[in-house]
Amino acid sequence: MSSINEAISKIGVVPVIKLSRPEQDAAPLAKALCAGGVPVAEVTFRAAGADTAIRLMKEACPEMIVGAGTVTTREHIDATIAAGGQFTVTPGFDPDLVAYAQEKNIPIYPGCTTPTDYHAALKFGLELIKFFPAEQSGGLAKIKAMSAPFPQFKVMPTGGISLKNLAEYLKAPVIAACGGSYMVTADLIDNQKWDEITALCKQSRSIVEEVRNG
C-alpha cells in the first residue's frame, strides 16, 4: 500500500468529523485526537469551511494525517489540496472524481458497497476503498463476501461503527481501518469535551492494539 494508506491502516481508526466552528474548534480537536493516539482525521464537507478546518488542524498538529470527507465535486478536491489535505473520501463511486484525484496525485477512497462499485474501483487501480454506510449495507458479512471475488482491496468501513463492534470489524484481515464519528460527536465538539474525545481515542487505540497484537 501507499505510505498514506499504510499509516491510516496502522492507526486503525479514522475519526469522521463535521465542524461547524472550524476557527474555534479545529486546533483543540486536533490536539485531543493526537493526545489519544489517533493522529488522523476525515473532515467532511457536510459543513462549510471543511478546508479551513483541515488547514488549521495541520497547522496545530503537523504530524497528523488530515483529509476531506463527503467530497462530491472537483472543487472539493482542489480546496482540500490547497488546505494541505492528504486524502479525499467520497460517499459513492464517482469515476470523474476518482480520475481527477488521481490526476492531482491525492489519494481517494470512494464509497463502494456493490460488485459494480468494486469493479469500477478495480479499473482505477485503487487499493483502499470505503464501505459506506457499513452497517446499513450489510456490515462485515457483506464485506467478507465481497472480498472473495475482489481480494485486491483493503476496506475502510464507515457508518454504524462504535466501540461495541470495532474489534469485530478489525479482526477481519480485509479491514484496513474503521471510520467513525462516535469519538467526535456533535455534543463532544460543540461542548468542547476535549478530554472525553482523547479518552475515547485511547479506548479505540487499545482495541486496535489488542486485535492487531493478539
**Residue 138 cell numbers, joined:** 450489510
Distance CA 127, CA 185 (A): 29
Query: 3-213 belongs to which homologous superfamily?
Result: Aldolase class I (3.20.20.70)
What is d(CA 61, CA 55) in angstroms, rounded to the nearest whole number?
A: 10
pTM exceeds 0.75 for this model: yes
Buried-exposed string 70-95: b where 16+ CB fall within 10 A, e elsewhere: bbeeeebbebbbebebbbbbbbebbe
Give the pLDDT of the chain (214 residues) as one tens digit per residue. Answer: 789 999 999 999 999 999 999 999 999 999 999 999 999 999 999 999 999 999 999 999 999 999 999 999 999 999 999 999 999 999 999 999 999 999 999 999 999 999 999 999 999 999 999 999 999 999 999 999 999 999 999 999 999 999 999 999 999 999 999 999 999 999 999 999 999 999 999 999 999 999 999 7
Q: Which residues are catalytic?
A: 42, 130
Q: What pLDDT does residue 214 have?
A: 79
> Helices 50-60 and 22-35: crossing angle, nearest 10°?
50
Looking at residue 76, what DSSP letter applies? H
Helix then strand then coil, % of the chain, to nearest 5: 50, 15, 35
Is residue 14 within 8 A of residue 69, CB to CB? The reply is no
Could you identify the residue written with the cell 463532544?
188
* Spatial distance between the Cα atoms of 13 and 16, rounded to a whole number of angstroms: 9
